[in-house]
Amino acid sequence: MDNLTIKTLSDFIGILPDKQREVVEKRYGLSGEEPMTLEAIGEARGVTRERIRQIEEAALSALRKNLDALSSIVEGLKSHLDILGGIRREKRLLEEAGMSLVDDPVKVFKNEKMTAQIQNHIWFLLDLAPYFNYLLEKKDNYSAWYRDPDVLKRLSRISDFVKKELTRKGKPLELDEYHQLVHKTMKNFSLKNENILLSYLDVSKDFAFNPFGEFGLTNWPLVRPASVNTKAYLILEKHHQPLHFVDITRLINGAGFDEKEAQPTTVHNELIKDSNFVLVGRGIYALKEWGYEPGTVKDVLARVLKKTGPKTYRELVEEMKNHRLVKDTTILINLQDKKLFKKLADGRYTLIH
Q: Would you give the distance in Å from CA 49 to the centre of its chain? A: 38
Nearest to 153 by CA among 80, 86, 82, 206: 86
Report percent pLDDT > 70 for the chain.
Answer: 95
Task: Evaluate whether 45 touches 54 at the Cβ level (below 8 Å).
Answer: no
pLDDT for 55-83, tens place per residue?
A: 999 999 999 999 998 888 899 899 999 99
Q: Which residues lie closer than 8 Å to 54 by C-beta, 6 or more apart?
A: none
Q: Do domains 1-148 and 297-351 have the same CATH topology?
A: yes
Task: Give the pLDDT confidence score for residue 101 in this predicted structure.
Answer: 64
pLDDT exceeds cutoff 80 at 92: yes
Distance CA 29, CA 6 (A): 12
| 1 has a pLDDT exceeding 60 | no
pLDDT in tens, 144-166: 999 999 999 999 999 999 999 99
Q: Say what the pLDDT of residue 2 is.
A: 42
C-alpha span between 283 and 267 (Å, rounded): 11
Give pLDDT tens digits for 201-220: 999 999 999 999 999 999 99
Angle 49-65/18-28 helices, nearest 10 degrees? Answer: 100
For the entire predicted model, the pTM comes to 0.77
Residue of 128, 131, 107 whose CA lies nearest to 24: 128
Q: Give the confidence band of 346 by pLDDT, cuts at 50, 70, 90.
A: very high
Distance, CA of 118 to CA of 281 (rounded, Å)? 57
The fold for domain 1-148 equals: Arc Repressor Mutant, subunit A (1.10.10)
pLDDT over threshold 70, residue 99:
yes
Q: What percent of the chain has pLDDT over 90?
A: 69
Query: What are the boundaries of each domain within the chain?
Result: 1-148, 150-217, 228-290, 297-351
Hey, which of 113-122, 188-197, 313-322 has the most confident mean pLDDT?
A: 188-197
- pLDDT tens for 10-46 read 888 999 999 999 999 999 998 888 999 999 999 998 9
Q: 297-351, what's its fold?
A: Arc Repressor Mutant, subunit A (1.10.10)
DSSP H stretches of helix in the chain: 6-13, 18-28, 38-45, 49-65, 71-83, 90-100, 105-109, 112-128, 150-169, 175-188, 194-203, 228-239, 245-255, 264-273, 297-308, 313-320, 328-334
Assess whether pLDDT exceeds 80 at residue 332.
Answer: yes
Per-residue confidence band for 117, with pLDDT thresholds at 50, 70 and 90? confident
Q: Which amino acid is at 190?
A: S
CA distances for 253 relative to 44, 258, 260, angstroms: 45, 8, 8
**Buried b / exposed e along 309-334 (16+ C-beta atoms within 10 A):** ebbeeeebeebbeebbebeeeebeeb
Q: What is the mean pLDDT of the chain?
A: 90
pLDDT higher than 90, residue 86: yes
Give 192's DSSP letter. -
